[in-house]
């Protein structure tokens, strides 16, 4: 009796034939929807034409496509400065610091005779040369706006900016930073807020670790630090590379902004 039964995996078995047919139809329908219909309904230039639509949906856009969607221009100028670790090596041997000291005479009214400010402007003494250079270049290109700084740097050459940066980096830092180390470290500075994608401030700006282009913050005027964090948070300042500070500042609470500014300001 079993000898007359059709084999299970055989097209003579109607159930097997029906299953293979249904799966084949489902596969063809899914392929048509996923590789033809949905991609061709997109307005992106990469999906123009049936062949480009299929290749793009498969992860291999047609290299022969002549047109490409133009890059979206930024809403405001952004920093284009490229920093390298050794860009200021040998600055003292080449006389860069001496030339920078002469150029810095125009900066003393706001930043102090020795780079330590008595006003609500940042201290430059002992600041990283790469950080100073980046900000000066950004003031020139309007990536960072300032009615005071823009006319001060408009006539300076790239070498002038390097000389100024090397000079201020060679000055001794304010000795009050030791007092800040005795203060309790706020949570936002020490550990950040991982659940809100906020890295600890000390991972880039402090004595614990540094990042190329990120300034050393202690000691700086409290009002200056707070105003810059708020400018990053609201988009008024936009010269941070890859929008790192804007993403961090907008996720900080007002209390965290106040705490970090007060900590890095110390007793100032």
Q: How deeply is 18 buried, as exposed, middle or buried, from its count of CB atoms within 10 A (0-12, 13-18, 19+)?
A: exposed
The two structure tokens encoding residue 255: 């209390």
DSSP conformation class of 1: -
| Three-class secondary structure of residue 210 per DSSP | strand
Tens of pLDDT along the chain (268 residues)?
455 565 667 767 777 778 888 888 888 888 787 766 766 666 665 556 666 666 666 666 555 445 556 777 888 889 999 999 889 988 877 789 999 999 999 999 999 999 999 888 999 999 999 999 999 999 999 999 999 999 999 999 999 999 999 999 999 987 655 555 677 899 999 999 999 999 999 999 977 778 899 999 988 999 999 999 999 999 999 999 999 999 999 999 999 999 999 999 986 6
Output the pLDDT for position 225.
96
Q: Cβ–Cβ contacts within 10 Å for residue 83, how many?
A: 17
Global pTM value: 0.73
Q: Residue 60: what pLDDT?
A: 65
Directed axis angle between helix 222-234 and helix 254-265, to 10°?
A: 150
Q: Could you give the CA distance from residue 182 to residue 186 in angstroms, rounded to a whole number? A: 12
Concatenating the DSSP letter of every residue in 144-202 gives S--TTHHHHHTT--HHHHHHHHHHHHHSPPPTTHHHHHTSPPPHHHHT-BGGGTB--TH
With tokens 């139809």, the residue in question is: 25
Q: Are the C-beta atoms of 118 and 111 separated by less than 8 Å?
A: no
- pLDDT value of position 218: 81
List the one residue out of 237, 40, 11 whose CA is nearest residue 145. Answer: 237
């Amino acid at each position: 009796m079993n000898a007359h039964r059709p084999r299970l995996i055989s097209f003579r078995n109607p159930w097997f034939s029906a299953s293979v047919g249904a799966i084949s139809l489902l596969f063809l329908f899914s392929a048509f929807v996923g590789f033809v219909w949905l991609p061709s309904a997109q307005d992106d230039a990469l999906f123009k034409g049936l062949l480009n639509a299929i290749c793009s949906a498969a992860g291999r856009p047609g290299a022969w496509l002549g047109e490409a969607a133009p890059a979206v221009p930024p809403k405001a100028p952004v920093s284009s400065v490229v920093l390298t670790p050794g860009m200021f090596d040998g600055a003292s041997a080449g006389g860069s610091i001496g030339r920078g000291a002469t150029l810095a005479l125009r900066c003393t009214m706001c930043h102090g005779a020795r780079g330590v400010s008595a006003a609500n402007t940042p201290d430059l003494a002992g600041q990283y040369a790469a950080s100073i250079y980046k900000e000066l270049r950004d003031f020139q290109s309007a990536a960072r706006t300032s009615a005071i700084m823009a006319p001060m740097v408009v006539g300076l050459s790239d070498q002038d900016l390097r000389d100024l940066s090397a000079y201020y980096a060679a000055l001794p830092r304010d000795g009050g930073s030791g007092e800040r180390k005795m203060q309790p470290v706020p949570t936002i500075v020490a550990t950040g807020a991982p659940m809100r994608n906020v890295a600890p401030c000390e991972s880039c700006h402090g004595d614990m670790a540094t990042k190329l282009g990120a300034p050393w913050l202690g000691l700086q005027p409290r009002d200056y630090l707070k105003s810059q964090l708020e400018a990053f948070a609201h988009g008024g300042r936009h010269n941070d590379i890859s929008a790192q500070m804007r993403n961090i500042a907008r996720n900080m609470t007002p209390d965290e902004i106040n705490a970090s500014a007060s900590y890095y300001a110390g007793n100032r």
